A and B are shown apart, each in its own frame.
Chain A
Amino acid sequence: MNRTLTKPFTDDMVRPVMSTTVWFWAIVLATGTVVASGAAAWGYQLWYGIGLSGKRWPGFWALYLTNFVFWIGISHAGTLISAILRLVNAGWRRPVTRVAEVITVFALMIGAMFPIIHLGRPWLAFWLFPYPSAREIWPNFRSPLAWDFFAINTYLTGSVLFLLLPMIPDFALVRDRSTGWRRKFYGALSFGWRGTTRQWNRLESAMQIMAIAILPVAVSVHTIVSFDFSMANVPMWHSTIFGPYFVAGAIFSGIAALILAMAALRKALHLEKYLLPLHFENLGKLLLLMSILWGYFVFNERLTVWYGNEHHEMAVFWATQRGQYAPLYWTMVICNFIIPIALLSNPYTRNIIGCVVASFGVVIGMWLERFLIIVPSLAHKALPYSWGTYTPTPVELMIMAATFAAMILLYALFAKFVPIIAIWEMKAGDFAHAPRQGLAAADPHRIDAAAPASPEAAS
């Protein structure tokens, strides 16, 4: 194996943490402004009431919950993909995992805010917590929203752990290379990591356990998000396909988000040497697979509704197929199906640019998919006299824009403070034939500073 990852790699990884460029400040300023405007818009909405959004009778769920589902979907990029790749021991995952896991944590944090923004009385959101009160009133555990609350919290906790655990050795690395406040800061974050074999073993088994445990959690969380819809007897919501459909859609949008993030980091942090076209191509293949799977689900969903010809559902069906929402619907089909398949099934276009274009389309398309699940169905329930419509307002759009900006901002900050590629994992990759030795070799300040004599000695 070609041992590429020596000192220059570690330097490349640590450099962004140690020095700050103008671009960083520019991004922070730009996105920070948008986030601040979004916060102001939310404050405005808190003060005057949820009426500042465009929601109306009878479609009481709209843009905020579209974004909720969208961001929860995006969050499936990271932990889930990372865990699967870790479990199947795909070597090419190593530069990708942390990039991906961070998306999960931030997307979840952003996504989980939306149900609160969406509430009529957000200051009472704590009533969803099962806390003992004098009146013995608990949350209603029959409500899918209560399930959501637990599912998302579990997933967030798990994802944060999954992200933080493998960061400990890298924090220790930065700690050892820095002075002043950075040394104290990273010292605290590295939880006294000394790089003993025992610590490495524990880290490795913890990661293994987490990778196994996070999979069902990730699948369940988006299934439960889909339950918010499929449990209600609303035309085209009340469907058994929603669980897998949502999970597939989530992974689909998640991969797209991951590709976009990787491409951005590659450019911004000059990681061309580490995030290789191969990584994009592999993820592109995965995206292609998910695109086909997504198309399969949509076909299933649409065909059964159309063939079943139940008139309440047909109202929603036609509203999306050729009515008011048709432009959005067909944009979604083009973005989610036609563009990815055209670009990614062809080896010549399955390059970085092709992947980025396709991913961009998928992110837009999947956002539209969430919108088209929520809005047209609620607008066309069983009694046609109560049909409605929906147009978003500036407040809603501002808050939505702020969450996209927040994602970029958080990501920029994260890349600023944490090595964005897991240094030790990359190094361990160099010893893929002998993982234990690799782990040991990855540690820059192992106690026995001498180079390993042989693979046998390390194991």
Chain B
Amino acid sequence: MDRRHFIKLTAITGTSAALTACGNPENQVIRFIPEDDLVPGVATWKPSICPLCSAGCGVIARVMEGDAEVFRKGQAGVIRMGLAKKLEGNPEDPISQGKLCARGQAAIQITYHPDRIGNPRKRSGERGSGQFTDITWDEAIKELTGKLNALTAGNDQASLAFLTKPRRGRRLELIADLLQRYGARPPVTSELFSDEVLRRANQLTFGEHQLPTFDLANARYVISFGADFLGTWHSVVLQSVAFGRMKQGRPKFVHVDARLSQTAANADEFVACKPGTEGLLALAIAGEYAVDAAAEKTGVGRATIERLTKEFTTHGPAVAIIGGAPLAHTNGLFQAWAVNRLNLAAKTVGNPGGLTFAASAPVVATRSLKELLDVPPRVLLLDDVNPVFTSPPAWKVAEALRRVPFIVSFGSFIDETSALADLIVPDHSFLESWVDAAPETGTAPRSKYGPVMRPLYDTRSTPDVLLQVAAGLAKPIPGLPGTFEEYVNAERPEENRVQHVPPGAKPRELANTRLTIAWTDPQFDGDTSQYPFHFMPYASQMLFDGSLAHLPWLQETPDPMTSAMWCSWVEINEQKARELAIEQGDIIEVTSTQGSVRAPAFLNPGLAPDAVAMPVGQGHTNFTRYATNRGVNPISILAPVTIPETGTLAWSATRVKIAKVGDKQTYDSLILFGGATRERPDWTHGRGDEH
């Protein structure tokens, strides 16, 4: 009999005599509701695709009956309908394999978001004032058709531009198709954390203009150069599932970076490397660069490089991954190429435990945002992208958009970009419409699914609206399907080819493997003396590039490394901060040549002393009740440095200085869920209980 039982027994024997009711209180006294009276609801599961990133995870939605207030033809009413309740990974989907990341779990909140736009609207106030009046779909389509007809009449079809996300699939194909047949130029894609430079390098090295798929499950040695492949980079769920399988063995995972990201936190060894020199380390390990020179440039010790080289060559299958910050330098192409060389040296390309390239759908030709900004169109169609938020201020995206005479937004929310729209024709949520994806990774075939539930609002699927507009043009485009559903389900000859790439499939050509790219020093904006810190913005685990800041679950889910919720923060090396007399929560001003932002300090033991890091995601000025005026946007101080070969933003190439401008506040602007950062806090400084 242990202590608690003793207390229980004495208490019970003491009281049960008087009360006669208690026997074994655990089981008898408490049966408020007999278990048989609890009847779980009946649910059906319907498949769909997570729309939040380009990974294209297959999901299943739990659908249960419920009473929903819906809008039909401008009328509100309550009807009983199937409602999606929960998203899970689809066990039969080769990408998600029954699993889902935190962001994917929260995708359902898009459908039920209280600030979702429920009907077409037309601007009624000044542009950007946020004043809109409700209109009918007929009016909206008439208006849009009219604008397009006017372009056609002026033989100015090229002045129509379509700005969308770079998501491979039938949706983008349809858009490109329609644009081409209308006479406009290809769609423009915009993405902050673009991997275009890696695709370019893969094109040069392997002849594949796409991102690789890593066979982590069979790898025994993984070296990652800044790739947050378990958190935000590339196909996270697929990679995490494989990582979990890999961890059933005894692999070694080495992470090279200047900041301990969530992925780096899982590494068996963390190698600190000067930003922009990771490629040299890769080349040195591959044996194609002098170890001494590499040690000097990268700041990684000679002995470490030699040991890594030995381990990499002896503990295969080995694979090297690069992604994220190391690619966002002016020498990004070199960096990517150098890691490709390392993979070639490992001889695992196309082999188990290495990297492969999925046979993917034909790539739709797209244009870059830069092209759009240089020659503003006369009619711009915005498809749920927010370049005003995700572009450095020097690109002057908002100013360029203000010069566009007519902007139509298909997105479901008002954000910084769609607030400039003249006409809003809201899309269904992904659960209410036909969806498809052609993931770049894995062994995934194209997937396509019908709607999970009936629409809540008076919205329409954007591809359907486009088809309807196209059909109603003065010069109609012939031979169009009636709906996106027909388009998605129409067989296409080129799809009959093999969709699955078995593990071990060879890249199509390795002819360019002898190509060499010369090392160039990464260029930074801001000189070292005045701006002593590297600025490392990174994709927020929850809010990604800011496009998910409107989802309350993601706002309140703690960031894995800091446990921060609902806020922005500036990460500073813990010891460096002590030197600068900066305490956790102190308000820090981060200044670059482009401007400055203020946010509370988080003292991070896992960040290089000469760097400050900030998560991207917050700092929206206009993005639903959950994100508006919350925190600051680090992109707003990024210098407009681009990678020369691709024209994409080199978001790691800004240098900053910092200054403490305020003390910690009682109800902090730094909202942390967790307390101490260390399991055995050091009380000798009297600082152990900081939180």
Contact = CB atoms under 8 A, between A and B. Distances in A.
Question: Are chains A and B touching in the complex at the 8 Å CB cutoff?
Answer: yes
Contacts of B502: none
Interface string B235-268: 0000000000000000000000000000000000
Given A384-B676, A387-B689, A314 B683 contact: yes
Nearest to A317: B683
B664 to A, nearest CB: 11
B679 A384 contact: yes
A323 B689 contact: yes
B12 A386 contact: no
Contact of B675 (A137, A326, A384): A384
Nearest to A389: B691
B21 A138 contact: yes
A142 B691 contact: no
Nearest to B25: A140
Contact of B683 (A130, A142, A318, A385): A318
A135 B32 contact: yes
A322 B681 CA distance: 14
Interface in B392-443: none
A323 B689 CA distance: 7
A322 B686 contact: yes
Interface in A362-409: 379-380, 384-389, 391
Given A138-B29, A142-B11, A387-B691, A130 B19 contact: yes
Contacts of B676: 384-385, 387
Contacts of B681: 315, 384
Contact of B688 (A136, A140, A323, A389): A323
B689 A391 contact: no
A319 interface: yes
Contact of B22 (A138, A318, A322, A387): A138
Contacts of A324: 689
B19 A138 contact: yes
A141 interface: yes
A311 B686 CA distance: 15
Contact of B666 (A137, A322, A386, A391): A391
Contacts of B686: 318, 322-323, 326
B680 interface: yes
A141 B14 contact: yes
A240 to B, nearest CB: 13
B15 interface: yes
Interface string B1-34: 0000001100110110001011001000110100
Contacts of B675: 379, 384-388
A314 B8 CA distance: 31
Given A136-B21, A138-B21, A318 B674 contact: no
Contact of A380 (B29, B666, B689): B689
Contacts of A319: 688-689
B666 A315 contact: no
B80 interface: no
B397 to A, nearest CB: 40
Interface residue SS majority, chain A = loop
A131 B426 CA distance: 59
Given A136-B29, A142-B7, A386 B22 contact: no
Given A315-B681, A384-B676, A141 B689 contact: no
Contacts of B674: 385-387
Interface in B637-688: 666, 674-676, 678-681, 683, 686, 688
A405 B19 CA distance: 41
A318 B691 contact: no
A135 to B, nearest CB: 7
A142 B8 contact: yes
Pick from B25, B30, B675 the residue with the most CB of A within 10 Å: B675
Contacts, number: 68
A315 B689 contact: yes
Interface in B6-65: 7-8, 11-12, 14-15, 19, 21-22, 25, 29-30, 32
B73 to A, nearest CB: 40
A384 B32 CA distance: 36
A142 B676 CA distance: 34
Contacts of B30: 137
Interface in A216-254: none
Interface string A162-184: 00000000000000000000000
Contacts of B21: 136, 138
Given A140-B25, A380-B689, A385-B674, A323 B683 contact: yes
B678 A384 contact: yes
Contacts of B689: 315, 318-319, 323-324, 379-380, 387, 389
A424 B350 CA distance: 105
Contact of A137 (B8, B11, B29): B29
Contacts of A137: 29-30, 32
A324 B681 CA distance: 14
Nearest to B18: A130
Contacts of B691: 387-389
Contacts of B15: 138, 141
A190 B536 CA distance: 82
B21 to A, nearest CB: 5
A365 B678 CA distance: 33
Interface in A108-161: 130, 135-138, 140-142
A385 B672 CA distance: 10
A136 B31 CA distance: 10
A388 B691 CA distance: 7
Contacts of A326: 686
B686 to A, nearest CB: 5
Contacts of B25: 140, 142
Nearest to B31: A135
Contacts of A138: 15, 19, 21-22, 29
Interface string B460-479: 00000000000000000000
B688 A315 contact: yes
Nearest to B7: A142
Contacts of B563: 385
B688 A318 contact: yes
Pick from B19, B29, B563, B683 the residue with the most CB of A within 10 Å: B683
A323 B691 CA distance: 12
Contacts of B14: 141
B32 to A, nearest CB: 7
Contacts of A318: 683, 686, 688-689
A306 B555 CA distance: 41
Contacts of B683: 314-315, 318, 322-323
A53 to B, nearest CB: 14
A266 to B, nearest CB: 42
B234 to A, nearest CB: 29
A300 B5 CA distance: 30
Nearest to B686: A322
Which 10 residue pairs of A and B lie closest in terms of their CB atoms, listed nearest first? A387-B675, A384-B676, A318-B683, A385-B674, A323-B689, A141-B15, A142-B11, A141-B11, A136-B21, A322-B686
Given A138-B21, A384-B678, A385-B676, 11 more contacts: A138-B29, A141-B11, A142-B7, A142-B8, A311-B680, A322-B683, A324-B689, A385-B563, A385-B674, A385-B679, A387-B676
28 contacts: A130-B19, A135-B32, A137-B29, A137-B30, A138-B19, A138-B22, A140-B25, A141-B14, A142-B8, A142-B11, A142-B12, A315-B683, A315-B689, A318-B688, A322-B683, A322-B686, A323-B683, A323-B689, A379-B689, A384-B675, A384-B678, A384-B680, A385-B674, A385-B676, A387-B674, A388-B675, A388-B691, A389-B689
